[in-house]
């Protein structure tokens, strides 16, 4: 069915343009005109697939979520799970830049805020058993596992923001050293 | 000089409207039209004082910086300095919401990125002597003071983001408990 195929192919083109724009200019730069320009098409073509700014934003967040899920390591190791979040590659730097940028739209829109709230809750819930495992292995101090998961998520995302804002000060090696020093500081000392 | 007075008074009105808009809708919602609507004036009046979107953004960041500086506690105590950053009051919640929102525009604009980079460097530099003091007092583990300052800034801002996104999960009491538990975990254990 060529028509269907054309439709799917074109939607993929528009989707790629949406991602290109948000990865380069953030959600503040995500407009129908910018997406059309990024794919050398018309705004009419873009609105055919994404009828509003809100639809563009939701699609960009969907793509970000898909790309993020694809990078979540299948691991029971806390360090491995946290290292995977840091902007140590071009791909994770781009993803983090999109997520940090998304907080502006999320805090201004109840529907988007609920999505981000659920995303954070899923992340802390995914970290919790890794925290408990690390505690059982004697690698992490005792304490409420969800509180520790929230604190480790906070440390990691706070480091992400500083690295995106100041990549020369927070290069790949220093980010790994800072995370490792933090996990060492949280080890039970005997 | 009534003319001068009128000018100053009106500029204060426009400035107040800029802050009202950015505090409510973030930088994504900061437009000449929104500012004009917030003060019941014309976009022409707004452009008379702030001729472009960029001028509005820079002014909002200036106001945020002034309000932030006014809240920086004159203290040598690390906990006091970090507690002051958390969204524990309506004022600090509003300020944090504006700063987190500003990362979208900062990451998309080299001039704004340089300002945010300098702001983070000033914060870490201000925390460093407090870190050293805490180490000398035996309240904080040894280690590079600037690395510890970066880590404490990361933990604090990461907690700020989770609290803004999920205020019910991260109420005032829990934020203080999480920071105190974190500082306790970073104490030298003997």
Query: What's the pTM?
Result: 0.95
Q: Assess whether pLDDT exceeds 60 at residue A1.
A: no
Give the pLDDT band of residue A177 (cuts 50, 70, 90): very high
d(CA A115, CA B94): 21
pLDDT at A8: 85
Which of B108, B164, B189 lies closest to A26 in CB terms? B108
- Which residue from A88, A89, A13, A101 is spatially nearest to A57, judged by alpha carbons? A101
pLDDT at B7: 84
Q: Assess whether pLDDT exceeds 60 at residue A2.
A: no
d(CA B25, CA B20): 9
Which of A27, A143, A159 lies closest to B154 in CB terms? A159
Place of tokens 């880590």: B151
CB atoms within 10 A of CB B106: 28
d(CA B156, CA B75): 17
- What pLDDT, in 10s, does the model give residues B66-120? 999 999 889 999 999 999 999 999 999 999 999 999 999 999 999 999 999 999 9
Give the pLDDT band of residue A101 (cuts 50, 70, 90): very high
Domain with CATH 1.10.10.60 in chain A: 1-61
Q: Does the distance separating the beta carbons of A26 and B27 come in below 8 Å?
A: no
Q: Assess whether pLDDT exceeds 80 at residue A6.
A: yes
d(CA A32, CA A18): 9
Residue A49 near chain B (CB below 8 Å):
no
Place of tokens 């309506």: B90
CA angle B84, A27, B15 (to 5 degrees): 55
End-to-end alpha carbon distance in chain B: 68
d(CA A66, CA A84): 15
| pLDDT, average across residues A142-149 | 97
pLDDT at B3: 66
The larger pLDDT score, comparing residue A102 to residue B3, is at: A102
Q: What is the mean pLDDT of chain B?
A: 95
B152 close to B78: Cβ distance less than 8 angstroms: yes
DSSP state of A189: P
d(CA A164, CA B108): 11
ipTM of the complex as predicted: 0.95
| pLDDT, average across residues A146-174 | 98
Assign domain A1-61 to its CATH architecture. Orthogonal Bundle (1.10)
Q: What are the tokens at A68?
A: 């993020």
pLDDT at A3: 66
Cβ-based contacts of B106 with chain A (< 8 Å): 165
A90 Cβ contact partners less than 8 Å away, ≥ 6 residues apart: none
Q: What is the mean pLDDT of chain A?
A: 95
* pLDDT above 70 as % of chain B: 97
Which of A28, A141, A154 lies closest to B28 in CB terms? A28
Residue A171 near chain B (CB below 8 Å):
no
Phi/psi at A170 (5° precision) = -120, 70
Q: What are the tokens at A109?
A: 């829109």
| pLDDT, average across residues B49-75 | 94
- What pLDDT, in 10s, does the model give residues B158-180? 999 999 999 999 999 999 999 99
| pLDDT, average across residues B45-58 | 94
Buried-state track A98-126, b at ≥16 Cβ within 10 A, e below 16: bbbbbbbbbbbbeebbebbbebbeebbee
DSSP H or E stretch at residue A81: helix A78-83
Judge: domain A72-190, CATH 1.10.357.10.
Answer: yes
Q: Which A positions 122-151 lie with beta carbon below 8 A of chain B?
A: 141, 143, 147, 150-151
Cβ-based contacts of A24 with chain B (< 8 Å): 108
Which of B27, B162, B182 lies closest to A153 in CB terms? B162
Phi/psi at A76 (5° precision) = -110, 5
Domain with CATH 1.10.357.10 in chain A: 72-190
């Amino acid at each position: 069915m060529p028509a269907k195929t054309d439709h799917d192919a074109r939607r993929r083109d528009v989707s790629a343009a949406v991602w290109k724009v948000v990865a380069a200019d953030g959600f503040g730069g995500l407009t129908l005109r910018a997406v059309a320009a990024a794919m050398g098409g018309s705004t009419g073509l873009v609105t055919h697939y994404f009828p509003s700014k809100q639809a563009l934003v939701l699609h960009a967040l969907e793509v970000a979520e898909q790309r993020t899920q694809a990078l979540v390591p299948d691991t029971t190791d806390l360090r491995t799970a946290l290292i995977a979040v840091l902007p140590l590659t071009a791909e994770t730097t781009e993803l983090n830049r999109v997520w940090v940028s998304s907080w502006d739209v999320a805090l201004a829109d109840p529907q988007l805020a609920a999505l981000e709230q659920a995303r954070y809750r899923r992340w802390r819930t995914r970290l919790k058993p890794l925290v408990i495992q690390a505690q059982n292995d004697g690698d992490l101090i005792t304490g409420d596992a969800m509180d520790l998961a929230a604190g480790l998520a906070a440390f990691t995302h706070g480091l992400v923001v500083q690295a995106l804002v100041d990549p020369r000060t927070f290069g790949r090696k220093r980010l790994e050293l800072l995370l490792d020093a933090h996990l060492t500081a949280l080890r039970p000392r005997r």
